[in-house]
Structure 1
Amino acid sequence: MSGFSDAIDRRSAAPMYDQLRQLIVEGIERDGLQPGDALPGEHRLCEQYGISRTVVRQALAQLEHEGLVERVKGKGTFVARPRTAESLVHTLIGLYDEVERRGGHVRSDVLRHEREQADEVVAEALEIPVGSPVIALERLRYVDGDAWSLSTTWMPDAVGAVTLDADLREGSLYRLLADHGIRATHGVRSAEATVATHEQAQRLGVSAGSALLRLRSVSRDDSGRPIEFFVAYHRGDRSRFEFQLREEHSRASLLHIDGAGGASPAGTVLL
């Protein structure tokens, strides 16, 4: 690669790290760099622009936070792969359809797909008695070949039974259910930050303790019957959740957080 050109303007009111950040972005675009391509090292950037390593690290940290670069310890800094802009929180769209919409590809390793008895958590979410039969579907999801999320879906037996003989390695669960006349029309979803356990880290290809986004959802059909409950863990370095905000819906989107850390709807929350 040719390296970045131009210079830092020391008379500018803009911080030097922000100027360097912009120069790096412009250099990536000008040189046509692709995800995985290496960027100049910290020492080279210091020499080229006559700035301190602190300034360089501030610029790279900002770019990493924005998802534009990846820094690998002992190897250097690289152009990052674009994060999937997921609308999974405020819509009933699934990962398969979200990624397909942008021209990507989703495949799944089906880790478990079987009938089991609902425990207290699943029974409460699906509004069925504890011990009722449910269909559990656990999948490791890949986007364009990269491990992306680890999800477990539970469905009432009457709903999930239609999925048991289906091949869900390359297909959409929501489309399969829709083909059988089962459609989600509303529901409640939440997203929160967490960290990867050792087992989750191994499956997702990250280090234990890495940032994850946990998505929890209950979907209902037009009669109000719960048809699906899932918990999904998304890699924090690969996903970006997008929210569409409107003033007139702001009150309906508020959640009351109770003293025990739980959340309950303040009014009707449709996500």
Structure 2
Amino acid sequence: MDAPGILSSFSVSRASTTPLYQQLYEFLSLQVRLGALQPGDRMPTEEEMCDALGVSRSTARQALALLVDKGVVERFRGKGTFVAQPASYHRSMSHLYNFSADMEEAGRVPSSRTVVQEVVTADAGERSTLELVAPQAQVFRLCRVRQADGAPVLYEDTRLPLALCPGIQDLSFDDASLYAALRDDYGLEPASAVETMRGVLLPDDVCGLLGCPSGTVGYRIERVARLSSNVVYEHTQSYARADLVAYRFELGNLGAGANGARMTLAGT
């Protein structure tokens, strides 16, 4: 069935407490997950949605915008909106992110491979970054290869003050979210974060972990996150291949609330 024809099997419920655009978003994203809409298929236009469903242009526009934000579809100027390729990973950079949750929302299967999991004594640089005082110099170090449907996406080296999460070194994070454990077991959630991205030659050991040749150009992303109390609770350095990763920034007028940025990981 073509994309506009998909709409013939759906009608919005105006009696529901769920906003109309959310109903439309959920229906269309479900059609993608079920395979009724395939990668590369053109999505119904705003006009087609309005005509078929009797919704406003604003409702259709909000539904499409949410599909774009979640990485379900991709918009190409002058061509239209199309179902995203399955190997594409979109991550919004305009809000605090959770890799596992973002992957699941995009219909991907997140997994991790633990490379290092240990308790170490922070050196002077790490103590400064995490704003540790001498008695709190121990940190939990977790190094993982983050994967999407089994394919390596990122290499992350995360350091957490052990005083905030004692015993965390005994947990397994191959099939579990670090942020979920911090939230559920320790009541810790990030309130703000600063990320810095630089172009680099990926270290040889990282190249091996990400399955790319030595000397591959990539990105180094450094993240420092704070709790609502302004206490630093996370320092993560991530590496990604530049031949697979692109960052797209969507800009608007200052104060418009539409600004954002997106990382796309294209498939090989």
Q: Please say if 1:90 is aligned against 2:91.
A: no
Q: Please say if 1:176 is aligned against 2:181.
A: yes
The answer for the alignment partner of 1:115 in structure 2 is 119
In the superposition, the TM-score normalised over structure 2's length comes to 0.58
Secondary structure at the aligned position of 2:223 is classed as strand
Mapped partners of 2:250, 2:226: distance in 1 = 21
Secondary structure at the aligned position of 1:139 is classed as strand
The answer for the alignment partner of 1:21 in structure 2 is none
Q: Deviations over 1:67-114 (max 9, x none)?
A: xxxxxxxxxxxxx86331122x43221222221110101211111111
Q: Which of 135, 139, 145 is the matching residue for 1:140?
A: 145
Secondary structure at the aligned position of 1:202 is classed as helix
The answer for the alignment partner of 1:56 in structure 2 is none
CA 230–239 in structure 1, closer or farther in 2 if over 3 Å, else same? same
In the TM superposition, what is the alpha-carbon distance from 1:195 to its structure 2 partner? 1.8
CA 224–33 in structure 1, closer or farther in 2 if over 3 Å, else same? closer
Mapped partners of 2:86, 2:241: distance in 1 = 13
How is 1:12-31 mapped onto 2 (pairs within 5 angstroms)? none
Q: Which of 106, 109, 113 is the matching residue for 2:110?
A: 106
Mapped partners of 1:92, 1:229: distance in 2 = 14
Q: Please say if 1:237 is aligned against 2:243.
A: yes
Q: Which of 201, 206, 211 is the matching residue for 2:207?
A: 201
The one-letter code of the counterpart of 1:225 is V
Bigger CA radius of gyration: 1
Count of aligned residue pairs for this structure pair: 175
Any conservation in 2 of the 1:83–1:240 contact (CA below 8 Å)?
no
Q: Deviations over 1:43-80 (max 9, x none)?
A: xxxxxxxxxxxxxxxxxxxxxxxxxxxxxxxxxxxxx8
The answer for the alignment partner of 2:222 in structure 1 is 216
Moved over 2 A (4+): 32-35, 80-83, 159-163, 235-250
Mapped partners of 1:122, 1:82: distance in 2 = 35
Secondary structure at the aligned position of 1:154 is classed as strand
The answer for the alignment partner of 1:126 in structure 2 is 130
Q: Deviations over 1:154-183 (max 9, x none)?
A: 001122424222221011111111112101
The one-letter code of the counterpart of 2:140 is I
Mapped partners of 1:114, 1:249: distance in 2 = 44
The answer for the alignment partner of 2:168 in structure 1 is 163
In the TM superposition, what is the alpha-carbon distance from 1:136 to its structure 2 partner? 0.6
Any conservation in 1 of the 2:138–2:163 contact (CA below 8 Å)?
no
Secondary structure at the aligned position of 2:174 is classed as coil
Mapped partners of 2:156, 2:176: distance in 1 = 15
In the TM superposition, what is the alpha-carbon distance from 1:196 to its structure 2 partner? 1.8
Any conservation in 2 of the 1:134–1:160 contact (CA below 8 Å)?
no
Mapped partners of 2:209, 2:198: distance in 1 = 20
In the TM superposition, what is the alpha-carbon distance from 1:33 to its structure 2 partner? 10
Mapped partners of 2:163, 2:236: distance in 1 = 17
Q: Deviations over 1:17-49 (max 9, x none)?
A: xxxxxxxxxxxxxxx9989xxxxxxxxxxxxxx
In the superposition, the TM-score normalised over structure 1's length comes to 0.58
Q: Which of 129, 152, 157 is the matching residue for 1:152?
A: 157
CA RMSD of aligned residues (A): 2.8
Any conservation in 2 of the 1:86–1:239 contact (CA below 8 Å)?
no
The answer for the alignment partner of 1:190 in structure 2 is 196
Mapped partners of 1:109, 1:248: distance in 2 = 41
Secondary structure at the aligned position of 1:161 is classed as coil
Q: Percent identity?
A: 23
The answer for the alignment partner of 1:72 in structure 2 is none
Structure 1 stretches lacking a partner, 5+ long? 1-31, 36-79, 254-271
